[in-house]
Chains A and B, each alone.
Chain A
């Protein structure tokens, strides 16, 4: 009986993963088809398969395809890192924000922009270093014999608030044009992404695929509780340190390529859990949902206001907030 139930749950998991992957693919096609510069589907597919020519081909191959691929990769990275964080701290609000990563990378990037005029790769470096240093500091403050959760969240809030103050203070010191370009980075945007960004993502995921397979298994064991996990031969504190490191690397990857896009890391694991009807963490589904969310949000962001593209972070912020409110009302109904 039980075995069959587990088997059907696994089949359901595989099935939903395939459906999600198909949805991501459809989203990818849609992202290629729509744009300010209207192209007939025939031209689009021609360009993809190498037979098109001229400006249409350039637009598809050099602009829309890399942008959509970066959206997929970054969304997946945010989704997976959010799933790891939420599973470890056992709190649906657990996101890269809570361990101060986002605030750290924002402060780092703004410092780089306003004090040193950093752009491009240097800016990315500032952001990643700021984020990792902050995450490390929060981790050192909060870590005590594997006890996580509550303390980590509060230390993250405190450190995050200090860094926020630094960020905004730097913004008041800068001139307005600089402040505005820093602001654009702070929101998170996918405009002007090229193949170089895509290759970075591909390389990173190739390197991370094995650790991620282990991570999913270990997380499911850790979710049974520290005692049970120890009994099953998992060294809890070492494992959770390694998992946090993995989540931070993924988050650093995503932030360095798109800026601190809000809410994907929060919403993707929750949506994935509901779609897969899984009681535990599902890294694969979270990644796929994250990819889908960011891809769709980016399409919306480019076309929601006619004539003016808004950064994708604005869209994910609105959608994510509405989603949280929905969870809240849905839970309330269940309470009654």
Chain B
């Protein structure tokens, strides 16, 4: 309950706070007036108040709402995929970057820009999705072989290896092609702005499919936590659970990364926080992470708008600075985090 209230609060704040702060009564009036108010109110000189409503409506409907909406979905996808990945790899450090998803998306985008001359975000998003999926598949093929007891560790190592090669590709391309670097340096920070609403429409199907799949996997993952043998005894096929989880992670995380860029720590920190409150049951951890992550992401976004006002800090910078101390506190206070 508290979580939903927090989410609502952050949503309102994200719409209201920014370079131009909009008071709550004005916010309400502009919302009621609807997106059409921008044109109608501006034409007729019916006083100061109406003009203000129309200006606010323009800001809200064209800038703040899409941004908030995008943050909501991207945050949910990141939180869910982080929780899923930590359960899947039995590794408290697992996060989207780890299975090569981020670097796959980055490499594909850079290649898309440099080789195919694509410069609009709504087009290179497909490259990002494809790259994320390809990298995740490769990591899984490398890491999920041999004795199954070692698979979690090997997945992480395979992720590191694949990421390293892909990042070298990114370095190489961006060094030779300054246009690619110019796009890449803004994409890599992760930001909710400057992305039009068509991007969300493009990735939304992936987020929804991945989300449904992930939530459906909560019970099988609980069983897997007891070990492959127990899971088999309960009538599950561990390989299929792993493959489906990896698929869900790729969908969620690839879509989020494609839409908002590689955002650090949301997928890592949120499931830890949730787990410390409700315990390790994935039937709670997965949905609650899905709700809590957008709170963190949107709060970070709002913070980024206020901190260096009238400029903005990209949300990726803020999450790194919010998330890293949490991580450090986790390990220095309690010793090793275990799953």
Contacts and interface: CB of A to CB of B under 8 A. Distances in A.
B314 interface: yes
A322 B165 contact: yes
B142 A328 contact: yes
A202 B313 CA distance: 44
Contact of B325 (A158, A164, A177, A336): A158
Given A151-B331, A165-B264, A332 B145 contact: yes
A142 interface: yes
Given A154-B93, A325-B142, A328-B158, A171 B185 contact: yes
A329 B321 contact: no
A155 interface: yes
Contacts of A183: 171, 174-175, 181
B189 interface: yes
Contacts of A308: 176
A179 B321 contact: no
Given A168-B189, A180-B175, A162 B332 contact: no
- Specify the main secondary structure of chain B where it touches its partner: helix
Interface stretch (A46-54, A205-213, A312-320): A312-320
Interface string A285-321: 0000000000000000000000010110111111011
A283 B161 CA distance: 24
Nearest to B327: A158
A318 B163 CA distance: 10
Nearest to B177: A180
Interface stretch (B7-15, B146-154, B214-222, B290-298): B146-154
Contact of A328 (B161, B166, B316): B161
A187 B189 contact: no
A58 interface: no
A310 B171 CA distance: 10
A315 B172 CA distance: 9
Contact of B181 (A93, A180, A332, A333): A180
Interface string B176-206: 1010011001101100000000000000000
- Specify the main secondary structure of chain A where it touches its partner: helix
B121 to A, nearest CB: 15
Contacts of A122: none
Q: Which of B146, B165, B168, B313 has the most CB of A within 10 A?
A: B168
Given A176-B181, A183-B175, A321-B161, A155 B146 contact: no
B65 interface: no
A26 interface: no
Contacts of B188: 168
A208 B147 CA distance: 44
Interface of B: 93, 142-143, 145-147, 150, 154, 157-158, 160-169, 171-172, 174-176, 178, 181-182, 185-186, 188-189, 264-265, 313-314, 316-317, 320-321, 323-325, 327-328, 330-332, 335-336
Interface of A: 93, 141-142, 144, 150-151, 154-155, 157-159, 161-162, 164-166, 168-169, 171-172, 176-177, 179-180, 183-184, 186-187, 262-263, 308, 310-311, 313-318, 320-322, 324-325, 327-329, 331-333, 335-336
30 contacts: A151-B336, A155-B328, A158-B323, A158-B328, A166-B317, A168-B189, A169-B189, A179-B181, A183-B175, A186-B171, A187-B171, A262-B164, A263-B164, A308-B176, A313-B168, A314-B172, A315-B168, A317-B171, A318-B168, A318-B169, A321-B162, A321-B163, A325-B142, A325-B161, A327-B157, A331-B146, A332-B146, A332-B154, A336-B146, A336-B147
Given A169-B317, A328-B161, 4 more contacts: A144-B332, A154-B330, A162-B320, A332-B146
